[in-house]
Amino acid sequence: MIPIVDLKRQYYQIKDEIDNAIRRVLESGWFILGKELQEFEKEFADYNDSKYALGVGSGTEALHLSILALGIKPEDEIITVPNTAMPTISAISLAYAKPVFVDINQYSYNLDPKKLENKITKKTKAIIPVHLFGQSADMDQIREISKKHSIPIIEDCAQSHGALYKGKKTGNFGEFGCFSFYPSKNLGAYGDGGLITTNNRELYEKILMLRNYGQKDRYIHKEKGTNSRLDEIQAAILRVKLKHLDEWNLKRRKLAQIYDKELKEVITPKEMDYAKHIYHLYVIRSEKRESLMNYLKEKGIGTQIHYPIPAHLQEAYKELRINKGTLPISEKYSQQILSLPMFPELNEEEVSAVINSINKFKD
């Protein structure tokens, strides 16, 4: 069996460090908003070259709180892409805002800046580019349009921990960068978790309140807030793992290069010249996706589809009345994409076995 991801392998590599970190928190008797989170936030901000970092409950919450902090109101429009993990869209709905979709670029699989401007209306209050699969969106182009129309940017960095755009870390190209620590992300907790980066002091202070019942000082509430905090145990775990992130991303890139070089007959991902891709997922395209998937399953090779139904065609969003055919590249790709095994502990023999199977595949 070659799984698409195996989190146990990583745990056993760093077991002592992790076990010690968890024990340290248990023995401290302090579980919410303490030293571990404070230190992790400093370390992550430093890692990401961001001024501020704020640990929150999940990636979805990171996006939701960012939307609230910008003062976005019900009925306001937020532009994003239809081929993303649904939580990008959930966060928009949680704020009662309306998602507006822009199709993706055929090479980057990310928001196509050429299609962005004509989706902007008077109601557009934010743009959420997603750095999908670990590759940054084309931020210069997106920023130029956002500046021209004074619309803030919230980056969805849930799949891009450590990814670069023109040499600079994602999460620094807008008002907010929103990270997820869902266990299988490039930097994953052992439970739910998320984080917001910002370089703006005022916005930082607003999120500080929003994540903690809206209070500025204890029992003094300046905002209508919620409860969304990264707990001490997850923060302590993430402090251990953050030290390994660059080495793990490098390993993913090495495996991706082997796939790139050796895979025939399928379309491999393209690393854009502005990007340093960190391969959260390694996604190929094939016209015979379903039979390829079944064939690989018979060989004991795990695959998945990220994502099979674009957001605008999901039942939950039928009220938007966006017809099939409106966002053609996202729709076409959702029929062709297939994610192959990709995680830092995957070994080169396993990658070779996946490649051999795919290259021998006959429909």
Q: Residues interacting with ligand PLP, by CB under 6 A?
A: 58-60, 84-85, 87-88, 130, 156, 158-159, 180, 182, 192, 194
- Specify the residue, 180 or 249, whose C-beta has the smaller distance to ligand PLP: 180
- Specify the residue, 52 or 179, whose C-beta has the smaller distance to ligand PLP: 179
- Specify the residue, 238 or 292, whose C-beta has the smaller distance to ligand PLP: 238
Cβ of residue 59: shortest distance to ligand PLP, in angstroms? 2
- Specify the residue, 186 or 303, whose C-beta has the smaller distance to ligand PLP: 186
Within 8 A by CB and 6+ apart from 54, the residues are: 41, 195, 196, 197, 198, 204, 207, 208, 211
Cβ of residue 186: shortest distance to ligand PLP, in angstroms? 10
Q: Do residues 159 and 109 make contact, with C-beta atoms less than 8 angstroms apart?
A: no
User: What one-letter code names the amino acid at 23?
Assistant: R
Which position's Cβ is nearest ligand PLP? 59
Of 296, 363, 309, the residue nearest 337 (C-alpha): 309
- Specify the residue, 130 or 256, whose C-beta has the smaller distance to ligand PLP: 130
Q: Let me know if 268 is exposed, middle or buried by CB neighbors in 10 A (0-12, 13-18, 19+).
A: middle
Q: Do residues 236 and 34 make contact, with C-beta atoms less than 8 angstroms apart?
A: no
- Specify the residue, 295 or 344, whose C-beta has the smaller distance to ligand PLP: 344
Task: Return phi, psi of residue 287, to 5°.
Answer: -70, -20
Distance CA(291)–CA(286), nearest Å, equals 10
- Specify the residue, 50 or 88, whose C-beta has the smaller distance to ligand PLP: 88
Cβ of residue 234: shortest distance to ligand PLP, in angstroms? 11
Cβ of residue 309: shortest distance to ligand PLP, in angstroms? 15
Within 8 A by CB and 6+ apart from 51, the residues are: 45, 198, 199, 200, 201, 204
Q: CA neighbours within 13 Å on the CB side: how many for 37?
A: 22
Q: Do residues 296 and 358 make contact, with C-beta atoms less than 8 angstroms apart?
A: yes
By residue count, the chain amounts to 363
- Specify the residue, 193 or 344, whose C-beta has the smaller distance to ligand PLP: 193
Cβ of residue 294: shortest distance to ligand PLP, in angstroms? 25
Q: What is the DSSP string of 195-222?
A: EEEES-HHHHHHHHHHTBTTEEETTEE-
